[in-house]
């Protein structure tokens, strides 16, 4: 999980948070990639298009993954107004609705976006909505994190944005853990991590991506036969084991090429290929272009911005 989230290069925007009273409703447009929120106090409705409305109470936490339009509201029959102009009116990290003396709702939120090249590693695994209740086994810890995040919002303390960003990313990890625990069979690598045999193989691959792994070796460390391991891995992760290894290597390669941190020959060795040509062939098959073409393409936007009009 740490490898995947690191590769996603998460960028976090915390807030604006909402304090409200009376009847209100805010309509939000579709967005990318993940939004996390929690109720510090009060209660409200979360209405995601295509989902049953959810009544959130103090201590509850939610995560939206690439969601369709949704509404936050005091009641189900409240008429929503566009959230954009309301959020734009925020002061000191807060949107205020209703009389100050009556505001009993305090909703703290964070929006996390990822590098588009690898965002699907996570967003393809998430449902539009994950709810963790206060009384859930993970709920108390998440509520504590929301309280910590809320304490940082609007406080002009040294390092505040850094603390907020890290807390939001910690929230993301705990929400992913809660989602995996809630779901009988989470999809992709997120679910496979909880499987004793397959999880061992996944961790081994991530720990030594340059090794020339064979199906036999991965099956042995999973204490399964090759056929049983291959079937179980594909059933849980969605692709065969060695195809997953190639895809992970190419995700690492795209990130390194985009940041220009290694030469192509160094990158070939780092991702388990004995020659630059073998690496280039695999890269072209997965990505659709050669490593050099990919690197030049991602460089273009940066260089084009320096040209004179």
**Can you give the residue ranges of every domain in the chain?**
2-183, 191-301
What average pLDDT does the segment 94-98 reach? 90
Least-confidence region, from 89-103, 156-170, 198-212: 156-170
Look at the block and give the residue holding tokens 């911005």: 305
| Residues 149 and 167: beta-carbon distance below 8 Å | yes
Residue 303: per-residue pLDDT: 47
Residue 183: per-residue pLDDT: 66
| Residues 246 and 282: beta-carbon distance below 8 Å | yes
Q: Residue 76: CB partners within 8 Å, gap ≥ 6? A: 45, 47, 53
Quote the tokens at residue 219. Answer: 């099956």
Whether the predicted pLDDT of 308 surpasses 50: no
Whether the predicted pLDDT of 42 surpasses 90: yes
**CA 74/CA 150 separation, integer angstroms:** 20
Whether the predicted pLDDT of 75 surpasses 90: yes
pLDDT, greater one: 195 or 296: 296
Nearest to 149 by CA among 10, 20, 40, 9: 40
Q: Which run of H or of E encompasses 81?
A: strand 81-82
Q: Residue 213: CB partners within 8 Å, gap ≥ 6? A: 204, 205, 242, 245, 272
Residue 268: per-residue pLDDT: 92
Q: Which run of H or of E encompasses 113?
A: strand 105-113
What average pLDDT does the segment 51-66 reach? 91
**CA 271/CA 146 separation, integer angstroms:** 38
**CA 257/CA 268 separation, integer angstroms:** 11
Residue 200: per-residue pLDDT: 85
* DSSP result, 43-107: EEEEEETTS--EEEETT-EEEEES---EEEESSTTPPPEEHHHHHHT-BTTEEEES-GGG--EEE
Quote the tokens at residue 270. Answer: 């780092």
Whether the predicted pLDDT of 118 surpasses 80: no
* DSSP result, 166-198: HHHHHHHHHHHHHHHHHSSS--HHHHHTTSHHH
pLDDT, greater one: 95 or 31: 95
CATH classification code of 191-301: 1.10.10.60
What average pLDDT does the segment 142-159 reach? 80
Whether the predicted pLDDT of 105 surpasses 50: yes
Residue 306: per-residue pLDDT: 42
Phi, psi dihedral angles at 228 (to 5 degrees): -65, -40
Residue 307: per-residue pLDDT: 40
Interval 176-232: pLDDT, tens: 888 777 765 555 666 666 666 788 888 888 889 899 999 999 999 889 999 999 988
Whether the predicted pLDDT of 107 surpasses 90: yes
Residue 62: per-residue pLDDT: 93
Query: β-pairing, 17-20 with 105-113?
Result: antiparallel
Query: Hey, which residues does 94 pair with through a beta bridge?
Result: 17, 91
Residue 128: per-residue pLDDT: 81
Least-confidence region, from 205-209, 215-219, 236-240, 264-268: 236-240
What average pLDDT does the segment 121-150 reach? 84
**Residues 89, 90, 95, CA angle at the centre, nearest 5°?**
110
User: Cα separations (Å) of 306 from 99, 210, 258, 292, 295?
Assistant: 50, 37, 18, 21, 18
Q: Which run of H or of E encompasses 95?
A: strand 94-97
Percentages of the chain per state (helix, strand, coil), in multiples of 5: 45, 20, 35
pTM over 0.85: no
Domain 2-183: CATH class, spelled out: mainly beta
Q: Residue 168: CB partners within 8 Å, gap ≥ 6? A: 12, 14, 36, 110, 112, 149
């Amino acid at each position: 999980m740490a490898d995947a989230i690191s590769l996603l290069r998460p960028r976090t925007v915390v807030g604006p948070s909402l304090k409200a009273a009376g009847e209100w409703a805010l309509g939000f447009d579709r967005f990318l990639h993940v939004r996390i929120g929690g109720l510090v106090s009060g209660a409200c409705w979360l209405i995601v298009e295509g989902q049953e409305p959810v009544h959130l109470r103090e201590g509850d936490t939610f995560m939206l993954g690439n969601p369709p339009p949704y509404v936050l509201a005091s009641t189900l029959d409240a008429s929503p107004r566009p959230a954009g102009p309301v959020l734009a009116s925020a002061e000191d990290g807060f949107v205020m609705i209703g009389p100050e003396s009556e505001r009993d709702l305090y909703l703290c939120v964070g929006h996390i976006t990822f590098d588009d090249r690898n965002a699907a590693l996570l967003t393809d695994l998430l449902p539009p909505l994950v709810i963790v209740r206060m009384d859930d086994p993970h709920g108390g810890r998440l509520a504590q994190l929301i309280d910590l995040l809320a304490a940082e919002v609007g406080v002009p303390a040294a390092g505040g944005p850094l603390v907020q960003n890290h807390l939001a990313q910690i929230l993301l990890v705990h929400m992913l853990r809660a989602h995996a625990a809630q779901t009988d069979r989470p999809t992709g690598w997120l679910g496979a991590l909880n499987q004793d045999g397959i999880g061992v193989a996944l961790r081994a691959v991530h720990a030594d991506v340059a090794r020339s792994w064979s199906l036999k070796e991965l099956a042995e460390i999973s204490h399964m036969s090759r056929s049983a391991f291959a079937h179980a891995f594909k059933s849980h992760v969605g692709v065969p084991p060695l195809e997953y290894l190639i895809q992970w290597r190419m995700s690492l390669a795209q990130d390194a090429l985009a940041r220009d941190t290694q030469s192509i020959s160094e990158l070939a060795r780092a991702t388990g290929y004995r020659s630059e040509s073998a690496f280039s062939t695999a890269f072209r098959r997965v990505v659709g272009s050669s490593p050099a073409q990919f690197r030049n393409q991602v460089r273009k936007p940066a260089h084009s911005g320096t040209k004179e009009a």
